[in-house]
Homo-oligomer: A and B are copies of this chain.
Amino acid sequence: MALSHAIMTALLEDDMSGYELAKAFDISLGLFWRASHQQIYQELHKLADRGWLQRETVAQAGKPDKIVYALTGAGRSAMAEWVMGNSRVQEGKDDLFVKLYNLAESNAAHLAMEIGQRREQMMQRLYLYEKIRRRHYADPTALPVRRKGVFLALLAGIRQGEHFLAWCDEAQAILATVDGKETDGG
């Protein structure tokens, strides 16, 4: 498993608390690896026990204390080793594609609607991606090495999103020809 490695990756540059990690996952790495706060907290305990992370309690004014985690030397070595190993892919699972195998006149309109929703979600995500890209990765050749990797991941997300939008349009066009009922006031 590699939630542990995703967490440690997020801690490469900034030390963070579990709460902050959960937030970071929602916008940055979380685009490629989704994790709930419950999972993160439990993983943090394991990683601290294994000696890959160090915990430090930080008092805050007007807010509860937080427990900030930092990579240890052992943690960094473990990461370096992990990068050199074989990658694992966990293919996504999407009801929508399975549903398409069940296409019929009775559900074509519904599926077109769901695809429309997905399109909308993807548009918003792409908007965020592009904002990040323009702000931090406008000139990829000028980036420090590690940042080039982050850029490549971002680029994969953007490309995939763009392809998905195009597919949504195609799919909706075809579904429109299938739809059983016509709604143009005839």
Residues of A within 8 A of B (CB): 2, 5-6, 9, 12, 29, 32-34, 79-80, 82-84, 86-108, 110-111, 114, 140-141, 145-146, 148-153, 155-156, 159-160, 162-164, 166-167, 170-171, 174-175, 177-178
Tell me if A101 and B163 are in contact (CB < 8 A).
Answer: no
Residues of B within 8 A of A82 (CB): 99
Copies of this protein, total: 2
- Asked if A98 and B33 make an inter-chain contact with CB atoms under 8 angstroms apart, the answer reads yes
CB distance from A106 to the nearest CB of B (A): 7
Verify A92–B91 contact, CB threshold 8 A.
yes
Contact of A84 among B107, B167, B175 (CB under 8 A): B107
Residue of B nearest to A105 (CB): B145
Do the beta carbons of B101 and A146 come within 8 Å of each other? yes
Structural contact, A174 and B148, CB atoms closer than 8 A: yes
Q: How far is the CB of A144 from chain B (nearest CB, A)?
A: 10
Q: Is B95 in contact with A34, judged by CB distance below 8 angstroms?
A: no
Contact B99 A83 (CB under 8 A): yes
Q: A92-B89, A163-B159 are in contact. Are A32 and B98 (CB under 8 A)?
A: yes
